[in-house]
Structure 1
Amino acid sequence: MLLDYPFAYKNERAKQYIDYAIFIDTPLDVAMARRIIRNMSNKNVDLLKDDLNYYLSKGRVAYLEMIKTIKPNSDFIIDGNLSTHDIVSKIIKKIKVLGE
Structure 2
Amino acid sequence: MTKIISIATVSGGGKTTLTERLMQALPHSEAIHFDDIDFKHAPEDLTKWVDDGADPHAWDLSPLSDQIEQLIAGDHPPSYLILDYPFSYLHPDISARIDISIYVHTPLDVAMARRIIRDQRGQKRIVEELAHYLSKSRRAYVYMEEQVMPTADLVLDGTEDPALLVSNVLRHLYYGSTLTK
Return the TM-score normalized by structure 2.
0.49
Does 1:3 find its partner at 2:83? yes
Measure the CA separation in 2 of the matches of 1:85 and 1:94.
14
Give 2:144's match in structure 1, choosing from 66, 76, 79: 66
Give 2:101's match in structure 1, choosing from 21, 25, 33: 21
Measure the CA separation in 1 of the matches of 2:145 and 2:171.
24
Measure the CA separation in 1 of the matches of 2:117 and 2:110.
11
Counterpart residue number, 1:76: 154
Does 1:89 find its partner at 2:181? no
**How big is the shift at 1:45?**
1.5
Q: Which of structure 1's runs of 4+ aligned residues deviate more than 3 A?
A: none
- Structure with the bigger RCO (C-alpha within 8 Å, sep 6+) is 1
Gaps of 5+ in 1: none
- What is the total number of aligned residue pairs between the two structures? 96
**How big is the shift at 1:2?**
0.6
Measure the CA separation in 2 of the matches of 1:89 and 1:35.
25
Does 1:33 find its partner at 2:116? no
Counterpart residue number, 1:47: 125
Measure the CA separation in 2 of the matches of 1:52 and 1:85.
30
**How big is the shift at 1:49?**
2.1
Residues 52-61 or 75-84, more deviating: 52-61
Q: Supply the RMSD in Å over aligned alpha carbons.
A: 1.6
Counterpart residue number, 1:12: 92
**How big is the shift at 1:80?**
1.2
Q: Which has the larger radius of gyration?
A: 2
**How big is the shift at 1:28?**
0.5
Return the TM-score normalized by structure 1.
0.83
